[in-house]
Copies of this chain bind each other. A is one copy, B any other.
């Protein structure tokens, strides 16, 4: 079980590689330019079964997207801290 924080845009290879690292039970959180994954349908194909995905609402909204366009549930900064509390292993 790990929390994987992806902060770079989908156009960066390293972001895709980090999504591939996720294994069942892991949580992926998209922040900063990583939130652009939340509006691309093909992101769903990249995410393995059993991996939960969240999106930082503040970063999504600052880039012009509302919560209801996001393919994954949003969290705010408090929610991010909660994810940190629940996951000792953090990959970022």
Contact surface of A with B, Cβ cutoff 8 Å: 11-14
Contacts and interface: CB of A to CB of B under 8 A. Distances in A.
Contacts of A12: 11-13
A42 B13 CA distance: 17
A14 B9 CA distance: 12
A40 to B, nearest CB: 14
A18 to B, nearest CB: 13
A27 B12 CA distance: 26
Nearest to A10: B13
A12 B11 CA distance: 7
A63 to B, nearest CB: 17
Nearest to A17: B11
